[in-house]
Amino acid sequence: MSAPRQQPSEEELPGGDEAGGEGNGAVSGRGLSGLPNLGNTCYLNAATQALLHTRPFATYFMDCESYLPAKEAAPGKSQANRRLVHSVSDLVHQVWLDGPRQASPHNFVRDVLDLNPDYRGYGQQDSQEFLRRTLDFLHEELQQEYGRGSVHLDIGSDEDAAQGEGKEGAEAEEEKRKKKHTHDERSSIVWDVFRGRVLSEVKCRNCNQSSSIEEVLLDQSVSIPGKKQRQKL
């Protein structure tokens, strides 16, 4: 029987001091796992590395593993979604708990191709489109599993701590856990971390009337300024 994986400390998680912050330059080795190119999957690897090193996202899959939906599901799209959830979880554990080595994304790539048949073959794909699709699939499955109460990460509040002080043992811990991980029905770790809103406003030049539209999104394209533009910044 293999020994249980050791949880990384706060500093060893993505964004911690030992993950590249200021200090003596020492690196724990966690998070330094590469992803091999399986045919022509460099577009996929680039976005996946960014995803795996987003601190709250990675922490969720390590701290809330017991909340993930069961691997078994009725045949169909939901089953493919669930496989993707668990292959992402496995990648997070490989990168952050197994030390500096090459991670194995084979299951993850398989599940991505199952959900995106147009990605099959050896053609190069758009990295941002891949990321958007993957986040959509993960959100759909993680918020769908819990109906009105979706699991998410939260640091809690002083009020929650005060309410728990007067209760005993396991009962207090259980109530605290439920309150900590319950959110609105549309929420998931994906929405908690990546959701944003863009407000677009259109103004008529003739009548000066304006209308605005608010759009919810999980990613935002940002143009890279050219040399002349950078000089002006």
Mark whether 204 and 188 lie in a shared domain.
Answer: no
In a domain, 176, yes or no: no
In the chain, the percentage of residues whose pLDDT exceeds 70 is 65
Higher per-residue pLDDT: 221 or 5: 221
Mark whether 108 and 148 lie in a shared domain.
Answer: yes
The enclosing domain of 117 has a CATH number of 3.90.70.10
CA distance 35 to 44: 10
Which H or E run contains 128? helix 127-144
Burial (0-12, 13-18, 19+ Cβ within 10 Å), 222: exposed
Question: Which pLDDT does position 173 carry in this prediction?
Answer: 57
- Across 1-15, 19-33, 176-190, 207-221, the highest mean pLDDT is recorded for 207-221
Mark whether 37 and 112 lie in a shared domain.
Answer: yes
Mark whether 204 and 187 lie in a shared domain.
Answer: no
The label of the residue with tokens 């911690």 reads 16
Mark whether 139 and 205 lie in a shared domain.
Answer: no
126 Cβ contact partners less than 8 Å away, ≥ 6 residues apart: 43
Mark whether 228 and 146 lie in a shared domain.
Answer: no
- Rg (C-alpha) for the chain, rounded Å, is 21
Closest to 138 (Cα-Cα) out of 63, 69, 81: 81
| Residue type present at position 85 | V
Report the number of distinct structural domains present in the chain: 2
> pTM for the complete prediction?
0.65
- H-assigned helices in 145-188: 158-165, 169-180
Whole domain around residue 91: which residue ranges? 10-154+181-194
Q: What angle, 0 to 180 degrees and rounded to 10, lies between the N-to-C axes of helices 42-52 and 77-97? A: 70
In a domain, 5, yes or no: no
| Residue type present at position 135 | L
Residue 217 — very low, low, confident or very high, per pLDDT cuts 50/70/90? confident
Mark whether 145 and 206 lie in a shared domain.
Answer: no
In a domain, 69, yes or no: yes
Question: Which pLDDT does position 172 carry in this prediction?
Answer: 59
In a domain, 165, yes or no: no
Mark whether 216 and 188 lie in a shared domain.
Answer: no
- Phi-psi domain of 76 (left: phi exceeds 0; alpha: psi -120 through 50; beta: other): left
DSSP state at residue 150: B
In a domain, 53, yes or no: yes
**Average pLDDT of 135-163?**
60
Say if residues 128 and 221 touch (Cβ distance below 8 Å): yes
In a domain, 2, yes or no: no
Mark whether 219 and 106 lie in a shared domain.
Answer: no
Mark whether 203 and 187 lie in a shared domain.
Answer: no
- Across 30-34, 105-109, 184-188, the highest mean pLDDT is recorded for 105-109
